[in-house]
Structure 1
Amino acid sequence: MLTLRRYVPADCDNAAEIFLRAIREVASRDYTPAQIEAWARVDDRQVWTERRASRPTWIAEVQDLPIGFADLEPDGHLDMMFVHPDHQGIGAASTLLQRIEAEAQKLGLKRISTEASLTARPFFERRGFVVLARQSVEKRGQTLANFRMEKLLS
């Protein structure tokens, strides 16, 4: 059974592991090994956990095992949403996005924006996001394509 709960600082290692494995094992279908190496890093775990704790962040769990996470910045920007590769396709990302949307509406936001990877773009499009622009982002000397997307909330 999939459940959601709020992120706590003790979730840092699990969230970082989900982030790293999702990029290395899932996004690697759409990016080169050099791009994955540049992207899949958590250089400072203290900064990582402070960033997650500074905004509404949720952990998706199955039987108390963290399998995904998502966060929402005050301006409606969905900064991160990742699901562990072993738990893709069970609705974790959809459930996390529903929670993000509910929180955004509770905060009175009119839209949610994100920078979706090549891998994530179809997921967001199926859930009502539209592409505003294709972008090239530099990470540690590598250029990665992504998409600035948004969804208007009712």
Structure 2
Amino acid sequence: MVHIRPYRADDLDGVIDIFLRAVREVAARDYDRHQIDAWAQVDREAWSVRRMSRPTWVATIGSSLAGFADLESDGHLDMMFVHPAHQGRGVASALLAQVEASAREQGIARLHAEVSITARPFFGRRGFRVIAEQVVCVRGQRFDNFRMEKVLGPTQTPN
């Protein structure tokens, strides 16, 4: 069972581990070794500030951190990563549901994200559409990814 809760400062090392392992073990099927080496780098202090500067949630399964996601005030979903051991268990779906619920509460009508080749199918199945294919440079490496968006409808209430 996936449980979603707000991020706490003591989650920092766990979310960094999730990010690094997701990039190195999952995204590596779609990007080469040089791209992965460029992507899988973390400035711990910057991450600490960033995680506390915006709503961030963590997903847990039992006592293990399984994933995390955040939301910026303009509807930008900057990060959403799932630990490789918890792929395919509903973690990303639960995190995205939390992000969407929070966006609606804040009056945000549109979510948008820069989505990796790896994550594109997931986002597509959840109602995001590709706005543009793009190439971004990170630490001298070029990455193909996708700008995607989802317009949020009103929350449906049961009859």
Normalised to the residue count of structure 2, the TM-score between the two structures is 0.95
Q: Say how many residue pairs are matched.
A: 153
Please state whether the residue corresponding to 1:77 is helix, strand or coil.
Answer: coil
Cα drift, residue 102 of structure 1: 0.3
Q: Which runs of 5+ in 1 are unaligned?
A: none
Please state whether the residue corresponding to 1:22 is helix, strand or coil.
Answer: helix
Task: Report the Cα distance in structure 2 between the residues aligned to 1:16 and 1:128, rounded to whole angstroms.
Answer: 28
Q: Kindly report which structure 2 residues correspond to 1:50-129, keeping only aligned pairs within 5 A, or say none.
A: 50-129=49-128
Cα drift, residue 45 of structure 1: 0.6
Task: Report the Cα distance in structure 1 between the residues aligned to 2:87 and 2:120, rounded to whole angstroms.
Answer: 15
Normalised to the residue count of structure 1, the TM-score between the two structures is 0.98
Please state whether the residue corresponding to 2:13 is helix, strand or coil.
Answer: helix
Cα drift, residue 9 of structure 1: 1.1
Please state whether the residue corresponding to 1:31 is helix, strand or coil.
Answer: coil
Cα drift, residue 65 of structure 1: 1.0
Q: Which runs of 5+ in 2 are unaligned?
A: 154-159
Q: Kindly report which structure 2 residues correspond to 1:24-63, keeping only aligned pairs within 5 A, or say none.
A: 24-42=24-42, 44-63=43-62
Cα drift, residue 11 of structure 1: 0.7
Task: Report the Cα distance in structure 1 between the residues aligned to 2:11 and 2:48, rounded to whole angstroms.
Answer: 8
Which residue of the partner structure matches residue 12 of structure 2? Answer: 12
Amino acid paired to 1:62: I
Which residue of the partner structure matches residue 135 of structure 1? Answer: 134
Q: Kindly report which structure 2 residues correspond to 1:138-149, keeping only aligned pairs within 5 A, or say none.
A: 138-149=137-148
Cα drift, residue 46 of structure 1: 1.3
Amino acid paired to 2:92: A
